[in-house]
Structure 1
Amino acid sequence: MNRYCLALDLKDDPRLIAEYEKYHEAIWPEIHDSIISSGITHLEIYRCFNRLFMVMETNDSFSFDKKGALDAANAKVQEWETLMWKYQQAIPGSKPGEKWVLMKKIYNV
């Protein structure tokens, strides 16, 4: 098992944040299927104000390149990502067009 942590910001608008959370209460089945089929075995998203924090656990078949290629070829995932970008914004320091940014682990017990 591998664990990855990623961060992303939402637009700082309470109405948009509420809409974003509603979408995640009933995520589209195609999106759920794309997550599982990519090798992600567990995924959680947390929010603090407008900052999101994602924890992903994956099996050994997972890679970010593979996930990116699968997502690019999936019209429903592209529709979801376009819709979610209405609510999301890049965190400071991210590359142009970059959404979720991989976090560096700095401490472990």
Structure 2
Amino acid sequence: MYTKKMSCFYLLLLAVIMGCKQQKTEAPLQERTFVVSIAPGEQKLQEYLDHHQHIWPEVEAGFKRAGYKKITLSRFEHLVVMSIVVPAGADLDRMSKAAESYDKRCAEWNRLMDSYQEGVPGTTPGQKWVEVKPFYSFGK
């Protein structure tokens, strides 16, 4: 016998099942930090900063499509610190290539920014961005 009570139960059950299917489980994220130096000279530094005040929309779209969740650039003088939030265990080389393949302007942007960058002391010849590893953390 089909009752109104049963009908409400089945509708509720269906809503719960559909809600579970619609929820996405997002992969855990991790923050990674890198440093680079900007070539000597105030003009070079100012040009680099100006470019980042007007990032091409294709570049940010490429970052998003490649899976970057957040990118933050900070600086002291000519030292630039980049913090990125990406899925845990992400292959950054593959993500970088995916971002560049999104639009030809993404690769053009990277070539342009590369012309302003130099490795920090301790990097190998030709190496520019280098990952820094946390050695102390305060918090929960």
TM-score range with shorter-chain normalisation?
0.7 to 0.9
Greater share of strand residues, 1 or 2? 1
Q: Which residue of 2 aligns with 1:77?
A: 106
Q: Is 1:59 the counterpart of 2:87 in the alignment?
A: yes
Aligned counterparts of 1:62 and 1:37: Cα–Cα separation in 2: 14
Percent sequence identity over aligned pairs: 24
2:63, 2:99 within 8 Å by CA — same for their partners in 1?
A: no
Q: Which amino acid aligns with 1:14?
A: E
Q: Name the SS for the 1:4 alignment partner.
A: strand
Greater share of helix residues, 1 or 2? 2
2:78 to 47, 50, 58: 50
Q: Name the SS for the 1:9 alignment partner.
A: strand
1:47, 1:53 within 8 Å by CA — same for their partners in 2?
A: yes
Aligned counterparts of 2:126 and 2:106: Cα–Cα separation in 1: 16
Q: Is 1:26 the counterpart of 2:50 in the alignment?
A: no
Q: For structure 1, list consecutive stretches of 5 or more residues without a partner in the other structure.
A: none
Q: Which amino acid aligns with 1:101?
A: V
Moved more, 1-10 or 56-65: 56-65
Aligned counterparts of 1:15 and 1:40: Cα–Cα separation in 2: 30
Q: For structure 2, list consecutive stretches of 5 or more residues without a partner in the other structure.
A: 1-28
Higher relative contact order (CA 8 A, sep 6+): 1
The structure number with the bigger radius of gyration is 2
Change in CA separation of 1:66 and 1:97 when aligned onto 2, cut-off 3 Å: same
Q: Is 1:86 the counterpart of 2:95 in the alignment?
A: no
Taking structure 2 as the reference length, the TM-score comes to: 0.69
Q: Which amino acid aligns with 1:81?
A: N
Aligned counterparts of 2:58 and 2:115: Cα–Cα separation in 1: 19
Aligned Cα root-mean-square deviation (Å): 1.8
Moved more, 42-51 or 31-40: 31-40
Total equivalences in the alignment: 109
